[in-house]
Amino acid sequence: EIVMTQSPATLSVSPGERATLSCRASQSLSNLAWYQQKPGQAPRLLIYGASTRATGIPARFSGSGSGTEFTLTISSLQSEDFAVYYCQQYHNWPLYTFGQGTKLEIK
């Protein structure tokens, strides 16, 4: 099983600032996605293929990385961006695994 580890568990950032979230895989992979989840809502796909934005996702969201280290960057935080973010590997389809999540909160 591929284990996904996200850091930090909680990130406090002020609106308008940049947020950088990390995800590490236990083995090298090529297929990684990022999701956003707000309270009481289903997750929403943000990024797939490590760096491709899903349909309708604003350009302030960007993904990068390869191998075992991946990053989600939100360039200028808006109020609606404060949520929990999960990375997920789909390299080992369909045995998907998710990271434990990073909660992005308002500083």
Identified binder of other proteins from the candidate list 100, 105, 106, 107, rule CB under 8 A: 100
What is the distance of C-alpha 101 from the center of its chain? Answer: 8
Angle at 5 between CA 1 and CA 43, to 5 degrees: 90
Distance CA 42, CA 6 (A): 20
**Nearer to other proteins (CB atom), residue 46 or residue 77:** 46
Identified binder of other proteins from the candidate list 44, 60, 68, 91, rule CB under 8 A: 44
Q: How far is the CB of 25 from other proteins (least distance, A)?
A: 15
How many C-beta neighbours within 10 Å does residue 95 have?
10
Q: Which residues bind other proteins (CB under 8 A)?
A: 33, 35, 37, 41-45, 47-49, 52, 54-55, 86, 88, 90, 93-101
